[in-house]
A and B are shown apart, each in its own frame.
Chain A
Amino acid sequence: MAEHHGATPVTPEEATRELLAKTRTVSTLWLLILGVLAVVGLVALIIFAMGHPTRAQWGYVMSVLAFLLGATQAAPIICFITRLAKGYWSLPIRRVAELFYVTGLVTTPLFLVMVAQLPDWTNRPTIWTNWKGGPVFYDSVFMIGLALTGLAMLYLTGLPDYAEARAMGDRGIRARLARGWMGTPRQWQALNAVLVTLGAFYLMSYVYFHLFITSDFAMSLVPGWKSSVFPGYHALSGFQAGLGLTLVTAALIRKWMHLERYIPMDAFWGASKLLLALSLLFFYFTWSELILPWYGRQPNEIAYLTLLMFGPYKDLFILSAALNWLIPWWFLIWNPIRTSIAGPAFVGAIIVVGNLLDRMRIYLASWSVADVPVGAHLDADHLPPTTYPGILEILIIIGAISAVGFCYMLAMKLMPPVSIWEFKTRLLLKVERPFLAHHEVAVVAKPR
């Protein structure tokens, strides 16, 4: 069912020329809009900070930071996973996902702002020691490390494309970035080895960083909350939203920059199976987090269960559960929806929105009880009311997300939307070959 619909197969030279040309067609109008929104968000953040908001209101800024740390930081990880597992279907959308490595530029400053808002740390249950600087120091070091690894990965994957640009006579910044890449077999082998090892490091540091975020910014704040599946749940919903975000961006870029011949339907079809699996895993983790406090019925468990799921944020919980699990599951089991482009992209958009709502539920709830004294027990009957967003909070959320979009568009001006060297490997590996007289069959090579 590969797409044979008439599109004449693209020759490698034509692909290089066309993809490099695409980088010049990045619409400056959209760049301007996102830039303005980002600046508005920054100003709103400054006004918000000067207004000495309560910790509960800081929950909104924390939820958008957690959303960015989850979705956009996780998007590039599918490239590493499919590269490790030699997943052939993901070759076209790898660059679209890898461009999200730029989020480090936005999340690091926002993270440093939020780390300063943490309540005092004396004998609070935490994975660090009692030292107030514990979370501040370790988390910031880890955050900066994660952002730098991301940027390094972004540069490395773009290296062969800069060399192509240099070969096409581009004298600007890309030529200097190419820095002596000749494409010798030794260089290719070194590039592949570096991409796999650095990707593995990025994946592991991403997963353990989520342990630090959840335990420092959520679980240590709520007295009596000790759910050990929560870091895994946080990381997994990040993966799911990352994959959803990649599909949405790939569909948009495919439409706006007319890349129909470069991003075929196979990529969306393969990704939708992975998205279905991740949505089912999302339900599985949420369920294992819900069944145990319900069954245990100890006072602190009933308290944090009501706070997070059935108390002030009940409707947020139901909405995010529906968006993250029910709708994707019910849409993606049908074959026709999976083998289309609009289907997985639409489901991806729903999952991204669901993930933002889920982060709001978690961080609003935990930051609203952050000021409860350390020894006190949470009481299930009188929990703080739901905090509703003000204008400033909404502006900050929109500003943060558009800041990431702005960096993404900038990166797209530098690198083509579909990586040239991976597109060529795709051309190399897949060939149409007659089989048994008059039957066309796609033959896919599996290099060792």
Chain B
Amino acid sequence: MQERYELNTPKINDDLLRFPLHTPLWFWLVAGGLASVLGLAGLTYLFVLYFGLGLLGYTDRIMWGFLITNFVFWVGISHAGVMISAILRLAQAEWRRPVTRAAEVMTVFALATAALFPVLHTGRPWRTLYWAFPYDYNRGIWPDVRSALIWDPSAIFTYLTSSTLFVFICLIPDLAVLRDRTRGWQHAIYAVLAMGFQGTSRQWKLQTIAGILLSALILPVFVSVHSIVSWDFAAAILPGWHTTVFPPYFVIGAVHSGVSAVVTLMFLLRKVFKLEDYITPDHFDALGRLLVVVATAWLYFFLMDFYMGMFGGEEAELAVWSLRMYYPPYNVLFPIFIITSYFIPVPVWLFRKFRRNLTVMFWTSICVNVGMWLERFILIVPPLSFKQAFTFLWQDAYSPRWTDWILVIASFCLVTLGVLLFAKVFPIIPLFDIKEGQVLKQELRIGRVRVPAVIRE
């Protein structure tokens, strides 16, 4: 299944270390551009901090809006890293090799951006930072463990530390290669980071075990983080939110939008760093097949939420669903969301020809993520503007202001900048994984056909 080129070690080292060791001109332009957008966003946020949250688009009923949608979106994207690397490492799938580190790095930066947003959207963020964590011993004021908003920081803190350390542990062998290839101050830094990694067979055995054991440990954490994010909404007794399907629905939605983000990331990596030998159409083919299964599972859980909304027959639930489907502006956003997240990409992914065509995969993955961003918005905001029987008028829809848009766009720039800087300092594709692929590559001759095989002791 794997198109096997003849790659020998020096060629692998040269190709994958080209970007960390020599900085092309465009790097400075792109990094500068992204940094300036982030500076603008920082300025906007200081503006909001000084004058008050009134500058954002919130009203008295719709107290959560764009920033929380963005938080759930980025936590969703961050889950793809663990989903791809952990499950594929456990299943020993051959096509995981160039994909794992890029996905895990996206996990770390997407999660860091996501963790920023609940702090940005609270009224007094300087207090949120230290009151959410249990450290206030002298005044004896502790966080209330019964609240879903305390499960959130504990889950995201666990997930952030464990995925960052996971990336570092798998990075050590490549740091050793970098240490051997650099001189002067770069050599000193890499030598310290590589901690004297020699490459004895014992260290390699522990590296492989570490990959599998940490994936097995991080997988439950990944499921629990997004379930707790979904309990932020499901714990409230609002008619559209209080459904028990939210945890699996959010986790599958996270995997769906996350894996599409990995497809986008891999396309960009291949295009920008010219890694044609390493990220081959095979990887997009396998990711496309995985996405078909994940998207269908996501549709199942969405329909569960939809059926059970109609099931009870309570006028509150029916009102929220009719608001989502028939009233402006949701009656325009709802069909766009359904079509872009399922009914455009999945039929396209069914055909091998499209799965192996990179531009088709790139645009369908962008389309999925647009749909999934809208899905979170349609999930979160309409139940807030629900009209009780005794109130007179409906809350009209949430109207985001320019401050909302800037903060949302800045989050995309922050993640791209993070991944770019990481790729500048460390190799984005694990060298030893690709080399191991070459070592284990075998050929089986069945009749006249040469079937690619792999050593599986």
Contact = CB atoms under 8 A, between A and B. Distances in A.
* A contacts B: CB pair < 8 Å: yes
A289 B309 CA distance: 16
Nearest to B290: A85
Interface in B161-207: none
Interface stretch (A239-247, A308-316, A440-448): A440-448
Given A207-B300, A291-B231, A445 B453 contact: yes
A284 interface: yes
Given A284-B223, A298-B237, A431-B444, A445 B451 contact: yes
Given A125-B313, A127-B311, A431-B444, A228 B451 contact: no
Interface in A109-134: 123, 125-127
B446 A428 contact: yes
A442 B301 CA distance: 40
Contacts of A232: 245, 248, 300-301, 304
A284 B251 CA distance: 12
A288 interface: yes
A23 interface: no
A85 B93 CA distance: 10
B293 A84 contact: yes
A298 B301 CA distance: 24
Contacts of A298: 237
A265 B274 CA distance: 44
A230 B244 contact: yes
Interface residues of A, number: 44
Interface string A20-40: 000000000000000000000
Given A227-B244, A285-B248, A433 B311 contact: no
A445 B307 contact: no
A229 B307 CA distance: 11
Given A226-B311, A441-B457, A446 B244 contact: no
B304 A228 contact: yes
A273 interface: yes
Interface string B440-453: 00101010000111
A284 B227 contact: yes
B94 to A, nearest CB: 6
B1 to A, nearest CB: 5
A435 B235 contact: no
Given A226-B308, A229-B244, A284-B247, A442 B446 contact: no
A129 to B, nearest CB: 11
Interface in B243-260: 243-248
Best-buried of B90, B310, B455 by chain A (most CB within 10 Å) = B455
Contacts of B444: 429, 431, 443, 445
Residue of B227, B244, B451 contacting most chain A CB atoms (<10 Å): B244
A448 B247 CA distance: 35
Given A228-B305, A232-B304, A442 B310 contact: no
Interface of A: 1, 84-85, 123, 125-127, 204, 207, 211, 215, 219, 226-232, 273, 280, 284-285, 288-289, 291-293, 295-296, 298, 428-429, 431, 433, 435, 441-448
Given A1-B457, A211-B307, A288-B244, 18 more contacts: A125-B312, A126-B311, A204-B296, A226-B308, A228-B244, A228-B245, A229-B247, A273-B90, A284-B247, A288-B245, A292-B231, A433-B442, A444-B454, A445-B444, A445-B446, A445-B452, A446-B2, A448-B1
24 contacts: A1-B457, A125-B311, A125-B313, A211-B304, A215-B311, A219-B311, A228-B307, A228-B311, A229-B244, A229-B247, A232-B304, A284-B223, A292-B244, A293-B244, A296-B235, A296-B237, A428-B446, A441-B455, A443-B456, A444-B454, A445-B451, A446-B451, A446-B452, A448-B1
Interface of B: 1-2, 90-91, 94, 220, 223, 227, 231, 234-235, 237, 242-248, 293, 296, 300-301, 304-305, 307-313, 442, 444, 446, 451-457
